[in-house]
Chains A and B, each alone.
Chain A
Amino acid sequence: GQQLNQSPQSMFIQEGEDVSMNCTSSSIFNTWLWYKQDPGEGPVLLIALYKAGELTSNGRLTAQFGITRKDSFLNISASIPSDVGIYFCAATSGSARQLTFGSGTQLTVLP
């Protein structure tokens, strides 16, 4: 089946630093999404990407849909303590409606 390889698995950064995480796959996707999940809660949509090469920002977050349609990255600039959580990439392919999820990146922001 389709798989998303998300890295890194975890990150420890200082407050104020920039963060980058990415997802890659051997399969082609036509939608990429980035979610954040806090403990005990459901994933919250951060950014949705619908076109290869698309670069979209949401405040301090920037994400890109890779030109090959097989990857995406998420950048967080000037991290703050509330950025702590698990970030998931997710994607859909042309015929499938369900989301395929990456395994997540656990982000810890140190004061």
Chain B
Amino acid sequence: NAGVMQNPRHLVRRRGQEARLRCSPMKGHSHVYWYRQLPEEGLKFMVYLQKENIIDESGMPKERFSAEFPKEGPSILRIQQVVRGDSAAYFCASSPQRSTDRGPQHFGDGTRLSIL
């Protein structure tokens, strides 16, 4: 999955701590999407961002989760006060334009978040 860079690849947190996941989109891509994947399941949409704007956060839990895509630097998915149920693989995807305009989404290799 050359291009979309996510870090860290693995993240371990204790309950109540904060988790911060980073995503650098492919060069030339200005649209970022975050997805969550539980074991044995498909990916579930969380949030869609463009530079400095949240476009669609309909899949994001209302509490403890936030996302940003600043003018400079990577997109950040932040989970505050983590709980065991937050354990999952979090994937970032990017596209050069809206996915409905022939700009398919390309994925990073994900961050595996484990909550102790």
Contacts and interface: CB of A to CB of B under 8 A. Distances in A.
Binding between chains A and B: yes
A45 B104 contact: yes
Interface in B48-105: 48, 55-56, 58-59, 91, 93, 98-100, 102, 104-105
Q: How large is the interface on B (under 10, 10 to 19, 20 to 34, 35 or more residues)?
A: 20 to 34
Of A4, A6, A40, which is in contact with the most chain B CB atoms at under 10 Å from its CB?
Answer: A40
Given A42-B107, A50-B102, A98 B91 contact: no
Contacts of B108: 42
A85 to B, nearest CB: 13
Contact of A43 (B31, B41, B56, B107): B107
Contact of B1 (A41, A101, A104): A41
Contacts of A92: 99-100
B17 to A, nearest CB: 24
- A interface: dominant SS: loop
A96 B104 CA distance: 14
A101 B48 contact: no
Contacts of B43: 43, 88, 90, 99, 101
A104 B43 CA distance: 10
B1 A42 contact: yes
Contact of B109 (A35, A42, A90): A42
